[in-house]
Amino acid sequence: MKYILLSFTLIIIASTALAQSYNAIKGSSYAGVEAMYNNPASTVNSVFKWDVQLMSTQLSFSNSAFRIDNASLNSLSNTNDFNGANPQITNGSGSRNINSNFDFNLLNFRFKINNKNAIAFGLRLRTFDDLHADPFTYNDSISSLNQFLQINSGKTFNAYATHSGWMEFDLNYSRVLVDNYHERFSAGITMGYMIGLSGFHAALDNIAFSENINPINNESYYTLTGGGAKLRYSANYDNLDSNATVRENINNFLSGTHAALNLNVGIEYIIKNEDSYTYTSSGHEWDLSNYSWKFGASIMDLGTNRFNYSINSFDKQVPTQKLTDTAIASYDINSLGNLRDTLSNSFVVSHPLPSTFTIANPTRLVVYADKNLGHNFYANFEATLNFFSTRSQERVRTKELNMLVLTPRWETRVWGLYLPVQFNTQTQLWVGAAVKMGPLLIGIHRLDFFKIFSNNTQTLNGGGYVLLSIYPFSKKKEEECPHY
């Protein structure tokens, strides 16, 4: 089972390794089109007239479910035998969690129509993955299901895994509503047209076992007495054919997908440094990077993706009285269809499934305060509040990993150094770093990433991001003149 867990996790990482947490540039006046993915009102407050984001990619991965002993990046790349790496479920008592999110953006564009209006366009791929198991006890000496149930006697088991992936076309509009010598207030909206590509949700609900004694050998065995199992995933995976061409499989995979809308709204309020005005031939101009304070709030990802049920999906409840730990351990499952058929004989009730199921996007409130410390130094504090819990089984949801982020930074139009410190929803404290060199921004979520290149105990926490953009050449100021 530990190899199955590791393989599943590596699949998630592989699917996201093209690698929404560009923490370095949040609140920055140089973020350009990327700002609309944090606050739709920010795009009009960029210092640039226009910018093109050629490509950006980001991965965040949080894991408390397993570790891999004696592993390096080289051994993890060989998923057949792991080159001696030893995967282990996390020891001790407690819940287990795996959370990841990634996005891949291509050819995004922003244009400031004038000083008060801006538009932006975006194309991106996104996935969110959540795996959670309620508290249970595990140690390395457990070698059978019977031993696992013995050490967790009397417990009820609940667990789920959710994955949602989609393509999104975004249109952003932001407008300045108030602008004077002292303050600037803007609002913005981003509408996303989504195509749901990949959906998956599996759950164990209130699984309970009772202990029994075998009168022949006086040994304990366990009988499943309650609970159920659910599996739903998108039908387009059933359309893949190993005998078809790559193009045919792409067309088959995209067939039957559903479109939906995604809504993002935000506001941004800036307190100006009044001595930062300059005089040009067109009059007094204010440098958008030279503010005193910047405050923002946004509601992001109001939307839901819809997927067709696979024929192998199921919802089974009320186990038969003869289902023991020995019978479960003897199951030979080699496909999801085989799993469905096996459980049909092990549970009394099979709930009928509708034609489609939905997975909600990670709807959340984002608020931040950004302080200009002078001499190109800034500090940004951001808090993220997920609106919904992914643990509720009434509706399948995804969530954002970020919770609290403090980012000191030094940046100009061309150069930048960043030190984001984040405390995420899994109560993990990460210290990252990023650097901007002209059009290129490179960042990591944890500074100890170098450990993956040598044999260590790997927990696979962290991630990183890369962003490549084009900006217009900066204009020379004709004459500086303080405003009084």
Reference 235, options 264, 209, 207, 255; nearest CA is 255
Question: How does DSSP classify residue 234?
Answer: B
pTM of the model: 0.85
Reference 352, options 314, 309, 390, 310; nearest CA is 314
Average model confidence (pLDDT) across the chain: 85
Structure tokens at 198: 């990949």
Domain ranges, residue 154: 22-48+103-439
Q: Give 382's strand partners.
A: 368, 405
The reply to whether 450 falls in a domain is no
Structure tokens at 329: 């351990």
pLDDT value of position 474: 53
The reply to whether 337 falls in a domain is yes
The reply to whether 81 falls in a domain is no
Written as one letter, the residue type at 318 is V
Alpha-carbon distance 430 to 423, whole Å?
6
The reply to whether 309 falls in a domain is yes
pLDDT tens digits, residue range 402-423? Answer: 889 999 999 999 999 999 999 9
**pLDDT of 246 higher than 70:** yes
Structure tokens at 313: 């999906």
pLDDT value of position 45: 96
**pLDDT of 454 higher than 50:** yes
Structure confidence at residue 3 as a pLDDT band (50, 70, 90): very low
The reply to whether 54 falls in a domain is no
pLDDT value of position 244: 85
Cβ proximity of 413 and 432 under 8 Å: no
Reference 184, options 175, 192, 171, 193; nearest CA is 175
Contacts (Cβ under 8 Å, ≥6 apart) of 331? 342
The reply to whether 291 falls in a domain is yes
Cα four-point dihedral sign 71, 164, 332, 66: positive
Q: Give 100's strand partners.
A: 61, 129
**pLDDT of 383 higher than 90:** yes
What is the percent of the chain with per-residue pLDDT over 70, rounded to a whole number? 87
The reply to whether 179 falls in a domain is yes
The reply to whether 473 falls in a domain is no
> What does the pLDDT average to over 265-278?
84
pLDDT value of position 277: 59
- Beta strands at 291-308 and 220-233: parallel, antiparallel or unpaired: unpaired
**How many structural domains are present in the chain?**
1
> What does the pLDDT average to over 461-475?
83
Written as one letter, the residue type at 479 is E
